[in-house]
Amino acid sequence: MKKIDEYQGKKVLVMGFGISGINAAHLLVKLGANVTANDKATPKNNDIVDDLEADGIKVITGDNPISLANEGFDVVVKNPGIPYDNPLVAAFVKQGTPIITEAELGWQIFDGHLVSVTGSNGKTTTTTLTQLMIAENAKHQVKYAGNIGISFSKIAEDLGPDDTLVTELSSFQLLGAPTIHPHIAIITNIFSNHLDYHKTRENYINAKLNITRNQTKDDFLVINWDRDEWQKIAQRSQATIVPFSRLNKSHEGSYVEDGMIYWRGQEVMPTKDIRLIGPQNVENALAAIAAAKLSGVTNDAIKKVLTTFSGVRHRLQYVMEYQERLFYNDSKSTDIEATEVALQGFDRPVILLAGGLDRGYTFERLVPYFKKHVKAMIVFGECKDKMKDAGNQAGVPVIESENAITAVPEAWKLSEPGDVILLSPANASWDQFPSFEVRGDKFIEAVEELTGKKEQ
């Protein structure tokens, strides 16, 4: 951990009691700040409040009182999910109070080698693969943190100048990380996500590009080269560009040619040996390979990871095989693009479980994928009628169910040996579940109840 005095004697407000917020509050006390912690909700677990107060932190819960904007805070550390049009946040913006996220705080105390990953899809898998690959050859600690569910600042506290940290960073986190400077940055892809938060696609892209804002020619931006738009976005970085591509050959980075992965013209391994399925996971592997090779990782270490790693939970996760049916949990597929790429990963007939929060769009884009890959559909949630319409256009049998749990036995009844039963909703979970993680966990529990087996 780097010793800094930036917060010594400063008055800091931490907004949000998530894992990152709580860790940030305790860290700021160590850094000499006078800390107030605020959450709009009242925690059900009193231990959270007790622990904060025991560390000398003033705690305010049950509201974001606008009066806090008049208390002379020097800095606000905001939970990334709190929008900037929140009245209290907007008041701080208006008066010019610096607003950062916990990722910025983590960067400020980090004293090692930083690799950071962002993108619309594939962030967590790419972060995990990159960390595993670098760790295979490392003589020092290699950890991951960030949007992957582990506090950046908490892990950074325990790392030294020779250690490596691979961080997954969301657009929300990056908006509040003005000085973050990874030596290697990765952009997996950019679609049109979170426009309810960012308001426009350009705002969303700009937030993503904060990952490379402070990079120089001595740093590296690893970026997907499979769309012209992403190639143009790369031109806005001062870093050395390292492309990765499943579709375009480029000797400057990692790419696929005739079923073989190459790094700068040298063979690495066949794509068929990657244990993760689907074209999106080939892209994730290519991004991780580029970062790993830039970090001095051997081909043998890369092969070991890619031939053994079976996936991150809820991200096209293999659950089990039962009576010659394969079950996959892709609950993290909360948009159309993610379900498109998931379906392309299977050469077996798919029984698709899909539906969820109605965000106002329809699913005609999925019709060609339904026609090619899907044998039957079980639909649920607010948008089930729209999902059913797309299934009908594709000529696919569609059955309605209550949710992702009740859909499992319905899918089983329709299945035959050799089929894939896939939860890939193409929608957020919030109409029925508090998160995609809960939805995926409940799906797995339903599969276990059906089969009498535990996930593998």
What residues have CB less than 8 Å from 246, skipping those under 6 apart? Answer: 226, 255, 256, 279, 282, 283, 286
171: left (phi over 0), alpha (psi -120 to 50) or beta: alpha
Distance CA 173, CA 104 (A): 8
What residues have CB less than 8 Å from 38, skipping those under 6 apart? Answer: 13, 14, 15, 16, 59, 60, 61, 64, 65, 68
Task: Count helices and strands (H / E) in the chain.
Answer: 17, 20
355 is in an annotated binding site: no
119 is in an annotated binding site: yes
The torsion defined by the Cα of 67, 72, 75 and 78, in degrees rounded to 10, comes to -10
123 is in an annotated binding site: yes
Residue in the structure block whose two tokens are 């700040």: 33
Contact 103, 173 (CB under 8 A): yes
130 is in an annotated binding site: no
In the chain the first and final C-alpha atoms are separated, in Å, by 38
Distance CA 138, CA 235 (A): 32
Distance CA 250, CA 265 (A): 8
435 is in an annotated binding site: no
Q: Please report which residue ranges of 96-227 form alpha helices under DSSP H.
A: 102-109, 123-137, 152-157, 171-175, 195-198, 201-209
The angle, 0 to 180 degrees and rounded to 10, between the axes of the packed helices 123-137 and 299-308 is 130
124 is in an annotated binding site: yes
Distance CA 444, CA 432 (A): 16
395 is in an annotated binding site: no
Which parts are annotated binding residues for ATP?
119-125
Which parts are annotated binding residues?
119-125
